[in-house]
């Protein structure tokens, strides 16, 4: 590719902020000591790790001791679900939603093979959780309720506090997968009903392979990885000090930029949505009628294949996604769009644009210019296209 990429796939992963990269580099070749060592060469690293813990806690309105560093969002999600089942051995039921990331959904489905019961609560056409269905799903056998803070494909934001209250009424733990929400919308865990929360560094301009878990003080917890005493016995394994320090810096920067996410980035996303829906007929904005993350636009174009759109956008140097990063590669409409009941002819033509604080106005202008002729061209040659006369 000759042109620089216009990167609008930030829900898949983000660019590491250069300030974050600079912060972590000394911990590879210079300050490479083991934070658990008795000598001061290692011990000094522990101090930086704890500073990062404080920065992340501050972003979340949490206490430093409530933060456990992990390797990724997937590990955090696996850990909390398995932990809840261990601390409540008599409870054999999990409540989650049909639109969770596979890191929650497949963990739960896998547990059904070991005799656990799983209820996946549905969503409406806008991707909103059915709170009535959720209430009747939680019972005295429920160990954990796991509901994401915001959906990775549509950006739809869930009413986490209301769900947490419902879980608490039945004595179940409440976990939220906030991998997509952290850094994009304000989160304040002080005084909240959230028992546990997962996040991932690479979604907020830190590197891949670092995640964290918030475990509210006093919440019963069992570690997933057993071994040494790291992370106060909650996650064994020598700390990934450089990446933890990077995540701390990324959290500080996220706090500084969260206002911009909700003003400048939101305006860019809204302009992209407005212009595309007015220039292209037969479009549908998934989750457009409800509260969404400020950076996410899931838009469906009837009568075209999302993958074909992606390929033509790629030729123009524009990176987007046809669904979540984990489901692209399959031509099946994503489980999220299916759960929302998005008509098949639309679901197939879905593109997710996800912006970041590095997205510029010029880049959005370029997409607004390039995409309409791409859709027109694809509709002209589509055997299911309107011109083909076959689509309803």
- Rank residues 147 and 371 by Cβ distance to ligand PLP and give the closer one: 147
Name the minimum Å distance from CB 10 to ligand PLP: 11
Site of tokens 């000094």: 44
- Rank residues 177 and 252 by Cβ distance to ligand PLP and give the closer one: 177
Name the minimum Å distance from CB 364 to ligand PLP: 23
DSSP strands (E only) in 261-333: 283-285, 296-301, 318-319
CB atoms within 10 A of CB 204: 24
List interacting residues with ligand PLP (CB under 6 A): 72-74, 101, 103, 148, 152, 177, 179-180, 200, 211, 325
Name the minimum Å distance from CB 107 to ligand PLP: 11
Q: What is the DSSP string of 319-357?
A: E-BSS-TTTTTS-SPPHHHHHTT--HHHHTTEEEEE--T
The residue annotated as part of the active site, out of 21, 29, 108, 326, is 326
Query: With helix as H, strand as E and coil as C, how does 169-210 read?
Result: HCCCEEEEECCCCECCECCCCCCCCCCEEEEEHHHCCCCCCC
Name the minimum Å distance from CB 88 to ligand PLP: 23
| Residue 326 known to be catalytic | yes
- Rank residues 200 and 295 by Cβ distance to ligand PLP and give the closer one: 200
Spatial CB neighbours of 11, under 8 Å, sequence gap ≥ 6: 152, 153, 155, 180, 203, 295, 296, 321, 324, 325, 352, 354
- Rank residues 45 and 265 by Cβ distance to ligand PLP and give the closer one: 265
Q: Which residue is nearest to ligand PLP (CB)?
A: 73
Tell me how far apart the alpha carbons of residues 11 and 59 are, in angstroms, rounded to a whole number. 19
Q: What is the CA radius of gyration of the chain?
A: 22
- Rank residues 180 and 308 by Cβ distance to ligand PLP and give the closer one: 180
Tell me how far apart the alpha carbons of residues 42 and 46 are, in angstroms, rounded to a whole number. 7
Name the minimum Å distance from CB 334 to ligand PLP: 12
Catalytic residues: 326
């Amino acid at each position: 590719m000759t042109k620089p990429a216009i990167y609008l796939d930030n829900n898949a992963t983000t660019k590491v902020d250069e300030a974050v990269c600079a912060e972590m580099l000394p911990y590879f070749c210079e300050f490479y000591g083991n934070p658990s060592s008795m000598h001061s060469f290692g011990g000094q690293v522990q101090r930086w790790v704890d500073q990062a813990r404080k920065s992340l806690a501050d972003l979340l309105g949490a206490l430093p001791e409530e933060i456990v560093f992990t390797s990724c969002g997937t590990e955090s999600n696996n850990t909390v679900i398995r932990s809840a089942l261990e601390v409540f051995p008599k409870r054999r039921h999990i409540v989650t939603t049909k639109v969770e990331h596979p890191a929650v959904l497949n963990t739960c489905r896998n547990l059904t093979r070991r005799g656990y019961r799983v209820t996946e609560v549905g969503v409406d056409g806008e991707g909103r959780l059915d709170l009535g269905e959720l209430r009747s799903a939680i019972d005295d056998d429920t160990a954990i309720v796991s509901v994401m803070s915001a959906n990775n494909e549509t950006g739809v934001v869930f009413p986490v506090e209301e769900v947490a209250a419902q879980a608490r009424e039945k004595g179940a733990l409440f976990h939220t997968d906030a991998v997509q929400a952290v850094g994009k919308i304000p989160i304040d865990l002080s005084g909240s009903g959230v028992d546990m929360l997962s996040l991932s560094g690479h979604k907020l301009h830190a590197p891949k392979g670092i995640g964290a878990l918030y475990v509210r003080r006093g919440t019963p917890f069992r570690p997933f990885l057993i071994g040494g005493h790291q992370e106060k016995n909650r996650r064994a394994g020598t700390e990934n000090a450089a990446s933890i320090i990077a995540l701390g810096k990324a959290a500080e920067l996220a706090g500084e930029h969260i206002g911009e996410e909700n003003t400048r980035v939101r305006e860019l996303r809204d302009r992209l949505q407005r212009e595309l829906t007015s220039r292209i007929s037969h479009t549908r904005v998934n989750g457009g009628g409800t509260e969404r993350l400020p950076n996410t636009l899931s838009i469906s174009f009837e009568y075209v294949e999302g993958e074909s759109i992606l390929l033509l956008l790629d030729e123009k140097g524009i990176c987007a996604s046809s669904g979540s990063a984990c489901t692209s590669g399959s031509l099946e409409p994503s489980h999220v769009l299916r759960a929302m009941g998005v008509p098949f002819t639309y679901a197939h033509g879905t593109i997710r644009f996800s912006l970041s604080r590095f997205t510029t106005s010029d880049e959005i202008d370029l997409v607004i210019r390039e995409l309409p002729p791409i859709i027109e061209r694809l509709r002209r040659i589509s055997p299911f296209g309107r011109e083909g006369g076959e689509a309803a």
